[in-house]
């Protein structure tokens, strides 16, 4: 029997897609018999249930008056080193090149153990260079000194080579969903509770409302759709742009058609009452929420940005539109929403694409194979 591994996982527990993927991966690896140690500043969300082989080691970041900034990176590296030694970890799988890969490298040195380091790039750690070029060398260092580096899309790999040009092979490993959770379910009662009439089409957008998500484009496209057919828009999430979006909704006189639902768990129930997902970002290395929607049979419209065309296959399970082209987006949304045959087809294709490319079993096996490779190499 293959040896089960002791794996440390570090992510930002609250950040969104990367935290979700790290947590879900930890759970599925635990179900396969590996021992999982989450090392992070907060209990990773979506952990929800008790597992006998999942442990959580909290990183305490103290604010001493002598330090100008709380020393998160050093506190994390120290905690990682402590857990490597005490729990005899075989490997650390960290999410983000900075700061987490750099912390893992430091922790490995501090522990004096030959722990392997696997780093997954999610995009936000690379696109940060758009704002702060001084981090380039730190990101390259984190990538080059990791034993294995993965990225969540081919687009992100290309972008990383263009911007950082690390001397390292980066392996594509797509994100995945747990299809036991993300599946269409009976939630018709929710429609009634939200005051959505049976004839109304439901569009959905889920994000952290950062400017890069271009939520105003979602509202503008919805406005054009709602002028032609009866429809409601569900906006899920919260973040810096919420006020701008709310003002736009008022300006366009859409208050009774747009539902601001804030942050929500159990998204599968909301996808299950939705007819179309809009993800119109200007940066998106993958677009996990599109995948979640697809797994519930919801066709998606995304922008021709980053990894989105690798998830939403244009003309197969939805449409890819030019960034900011609200006319094109609303036209294609209407095509899907007014043609039941096309909608059904895209819905079925969404399930097929998820099953063939993004099923948890396939992706978790890819990560496991990469882990075991490291021990073969010695």
Q: Which residue has 């940060």 as its token pair? A: 128
Contact 45/14 with Cβ under 8 angstroms?
yes
Q: How many residues bind ligand GMT (CB under 6 A)?
A: 19
Going across the sheet that includes 6-10, the strands are 54-58, 35-40, 6-10, 91-95, 116-121, 148-151, 170-172
Contact 278/204 with Cβ under 8 angstroms?
yes
Query: Taking each helix axis from N to C terminus, what angle separates 242-251 and 215-228, rounded to the nearest 10 degrees?
Result: 20
Nearest approach in angstroms of CB 256 to ligand GMT is 29
- Provide the CA 220 distance to its chain's centre, in angstroms: 25
Nearest approach in angstroms of CB 135 to ligand GMT is 15
208 binding ligand GMT? (CB under 6 A): yes
Contact 214/245 with Cβ under 8 angstroms?
no
Query: Binding to ligand GMT (CB under 6 A): which residues in 1-20?
Result: 15-18
Of 175, 274, 303, 349, the one binding ligand GMT by CB under 6 A: 175
Nearest approach in angstroms of CB 124 to ligand GMT is 4
* Closer Cβ to ligand GMT, 24 or 90, answer by number: 24
26 binding ligand GMT? (CB under 6 A): no
* Closer Cβ to ligand GMT, 10 or 223, answer by number: 10
Query: Binding to ligand GMT (CB under 6 A): which residues in 101-130?
Result: 122-124
> Which residues are registered as beta bridge partners of 36?
7, 54
Of 167, 163, 97, residue with least CA distance to 131: 163
21 binding ligand GMT? (CB under 6 A): yes
Q: Which stretch binds ligand GMT (CB under 6 A): 157-165, 178-186, 267-275, 280-288?
A: 280-288
286 binding ligand GMT? (CB under 6 A): yes
99 binding ligand GMT? (CB under 6 A): no
Q: Which stretch binds ligand GMT (CB under 6 A): 34-42, 196-204, 282-290, 345-353?
A: 282-290
284 binding ligand GMT? (CB under 6 A): yes
Of 218, 354, 340, residue with least CA distance to 293: 354
Q: Which residue is nearest to ligand GMT (CB)?
A: 17
DSSP 252-291: TT-TTTEEEEES-S-HHHHHTT-SEEEE--S--SS-HHHH
Question: Is the link from the previous residue into 99 a cis peptide, with omega within 30 of 0?
Answer: yes
**In the chain, count of helices (H) and strands (E)?**
15, 13
* Closer Cβ to ligand GMT, 225 or 305, answer by number: 305
DSSP state of 129: G
Nearest approach in angstroms of CB 288 to ligand GMT is 4
* Closer Cβ to ligand GMT, 123 or 297, answer by number: 123
Of 77, 143, 152, 296, the one binding ligand GMT by CB under 6 A: 152
Q: Which residues of this protein are in contact with ligand GMT, per CB under 6 A?
A: 15-18, 21, 122-124, 152, 175, 208, 210, 212, 283-288
């Amino acid at each position: 029997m293959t040896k089960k591994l002791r794996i440390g996982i570090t992510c930002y527990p609250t950040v969104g897609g990367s935290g979700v993927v790290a947590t879900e991966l930890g759970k599925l690896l635990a179900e396969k018999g590996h021992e999982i140690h989450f090392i992070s500043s907060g209990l990773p969300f979506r952990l929800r249930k008790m597992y006998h082989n999942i442990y959580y080691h909290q990183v305490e970041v103290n604010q001493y008056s002598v330090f100008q900034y709380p020393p998160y990176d050093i506190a994390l590296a120290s905690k990682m080193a402590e857990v490597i030694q005490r729990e005899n970890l075989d490997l650390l799988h960290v999410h983000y090149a900075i700061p987490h890969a750099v912390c893992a490298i430091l922790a490995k040195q501090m522990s004096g153990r030959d722990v392997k380091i696997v780093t997954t790039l999610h995009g936000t750690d690379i696109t940060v260079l758009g704002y702060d070029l001084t981090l380039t060398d730190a990101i390259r260092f984190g990538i080059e000194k990791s034993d294995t580096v993965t990225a969540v899309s081919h687009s992100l790999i290309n972008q990383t080579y263009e911007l950082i040009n690390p001397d390292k092979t980066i392996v594509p490993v797509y994100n995945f969903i747990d299809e036991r959770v993300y599946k269409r379910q009976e939630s018709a009662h929710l429609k009634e509770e939200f005051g959505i009439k049976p004839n109304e089409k439901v569009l959905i957008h889920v994000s952290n409302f950062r400017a890069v998500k271009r939520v105003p484009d979602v509202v503008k496209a919805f406005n054009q759709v709602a002028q032609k057919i009866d429809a409601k828009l569900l906006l899920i999430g919260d973040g810096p742009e919420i006020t701008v979006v709310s003002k736009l909704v008022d300006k366009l006189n859409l208050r009774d058609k747009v539902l601001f639902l804030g942050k929500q768990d159990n998204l599968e129930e909301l996808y299950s009452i939705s007819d179309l997902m809009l993800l119109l970002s200007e940066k998106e290395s993958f677009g996990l929420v599109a995948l979640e929607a697809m797994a519930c049979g919801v066709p998606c419209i995304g922008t021709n940005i980053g990894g989105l065309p690798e998830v939403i296959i244009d003309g197969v399970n939805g449409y890819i539109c030019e960034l900011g082209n609200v006319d094109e987006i609303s036209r294609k949304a209407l095509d899907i929403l007014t043609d039941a045959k096309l909608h059904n087809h895209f819905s079925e294709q969404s399930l097929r694409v998820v099953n063939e490319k993004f099923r948890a079993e396939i992706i978790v096996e890819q990560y496991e194979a990469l882990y075991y490779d490291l021990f073969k190499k010695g």
